[in-house]
A and B are shown apart, each in its own frame.
Chain A
Amino acid sequence: MKKESAFKKFLYSQKVAPYVFIAPFVITFLVFFAYSIVNMIIMSFQNVAGANTSFIGVENYRILKNAVFIKSLKNSIFYTIVSCALMIPLPMILAALLNSKNMRAKATFRSILFVPALTSVVVAGVVFRLMFGELEGSFMNQVVGAFGVGPLVWLRRPGTVWLALFFICLWRWTGVNMMYYLSGLQQIPEDLYECASIDGANSWQKMLYITIPLLKPTTIYVLTISIFGGMSMFSESFMLFNGNNSPNNVGTTLVGMLYRMGFTQNQLGIASAIGVVFLAIVLVVNLIQLRVNGTLGGKEQ
């Protein structure tokens, strides 16, 4: 009885309480995250076949020279770059326009533009896969048909595949990114614009010299999430092609390659090596970002 109360006192002390509070994170971190990372690094040097595992050095990393892997990496990088190039200026302009004094029904438009963010990647994928269908009557074929362009096989040619992927990305994320920019705009003091008006600045100059520089924290944040979202893109492509196989690997991404090796072909060692490469890319991007910003992006402070 006495022992129990001593334990209780210990548990309730101000020194121990914080550890109890953060315990759920520490446990989850160690069991699922740290363990998985360590396990992945070890597996990447192993030949894993059922119960038999043997160390084979850097053999698995030969995948880096594999043409399909290189293609998937290029696809992911290309997707990331273009989606950043689209998903930063466009939402910024929309937010600035929506925020202007002459705009009516701001709240309504804001909500409507946000609606796609409510859909899952699956529902979005279903709609876009069918919209970009090969049939003459598919919506996108009707659209291009109106301009006299014959029915296209959208999802079999690289150019049109990218178009579909970027459409999904634009559709789902424009509203969300616009919302980030709108809340960024709220934090720019109104008098800055008034001062600029007195100095004779036109709206374009105000945008260039006040709005864009002061939105920098928002832009850094949006850039960060866009880079990581872009590099880990997989589900969109999976939905569009109804599986992980796209004609000639036009839609195979880094994670797609990892999935193919790990879950389809059961090449666990190679899949782990891809995972390690992916992790390295993520860490390098983070380091660059830390260097450039001096802080942890828009995330802290």
Chain B
Amino acid sequence: MVRKNRIYSVCLFIFFTIVAIITLLPLALLAVSSLRPGSDLMRYGLNFSIDWASANLNEYKMLFSGQNAYFTWYKNSLIITVIQVALALFLSACVGYGFAMYEFKGKNVAFVCVLLVMMVPTEVILLPLYRLITKMKLINSMWGIMLPYLVIPMLIFFFRQYLSGISKEFLDAARVDGCTEYGIFFKIMVPLMKPSFAAMGIYQGMQSWNNFLWPMIVINKIDKITLPVGLQSLLSPYGNNYDILIAGSCFAIIPILILFVCFQRYFIEGMTAGGVKG
């Protein structure tokens, strides 16, 4: 029996090793190719055959040389991600708190609206939203990207769920002590919500950093586009596009990979939020 278990265990291990290799293969391809000139890629295609003797970091040097828009895109994405995460966390936490801690007229109607926004894919209203943003003169502005997505139903839901575990008597005690309604939120609840901020910050950060379709529609100036949109624009194989594309794609993932290794728990918690309640 023990022997049988050991064989089973080894088989399982081998199976998952193969799955892991297949999973990492596309990224490994990208990493290996980033050490070769882009012209190789155009001529031979994306593959693992690489002459290690001639492998070099020229592609990355080109990236850092400042002779292309890559870091402008990087900076744009970074600014949008930071602002959007901060505002979305704050505003959604307020709303989630309102739903979790108070009874008020119209609460159910409002909450059904949250569910409605959550259920309807954002692609449905792509066109009317674009027209609205145009009317608001926010085309080519980072606020055009962010403004419709500062209060996120997913976050509201998560914060509401998180706060529902906190007793309301706690609030009454604070009121007796002379704390105002907003004071309770800022001084007592926000510190209590810290762990949920970490998970949701990562959830929203990944959304903002990787967002593609909406920023592509809102921004059409080459120096204002975000990183994913910029990378997509390099996909046609002209000039040295491929040099920047491959190294640039790698460099877009590397910081996230590092963050993932450091804050795995929050990444997994945040990105799978909403799965199972408990």
Contacts and interface: CB of A to CB of B under 8 A. Distances in A.
Given A122-B231, A133-B45, A259-B126, A97 B16 contact: yes
Interface residues of A, number: 102
B52 interface: no
B272 A180 contact: yes
B213 interface: yes
Interface stretch (A37-45, A189-197, A205-213): A37-45
B13 A299 contact: no
Nearest to B231: A122
A133 B24 contact: no
Contacts of A109: 16, 19-20
B198 interface: no
A137 B276 contact: no
Given A104-B9, A187-B278, A116 B23 contact: yes
Contacts of A228: 119, 121
Contacts of A231: 121
A94 interface: yes
Q: Majority SS of interface residues in chain A? A: helix
Contact of A98 (B16, B47, B253): B16
Given A255-B126, A275-B124, A275-B127, A24 B23 contact: no
Interface string B68-79: 000000000000
Interface residues of B, number: 98
B275 A268 contact: no
Interface string B168-181: 00000001000011
A166 interface: no
B252 A123 contact: yes
Contacts of A138: 45-47
Interface in A108-146: 109-131, 133, 135-139, 141-142
22 contacts: A21-B98, A22-B95, A22-B98, A29-B117, A32-B147, A102-B12, A118-B206, A122-B249, A123-B228, A127-B27, A131-B26, A131-B29, A171-B26, A222-B275, A242-B235, A242-B236, A258-B123, A258-B126, A262-B126, A278-B124, A282-B119, A296-B115
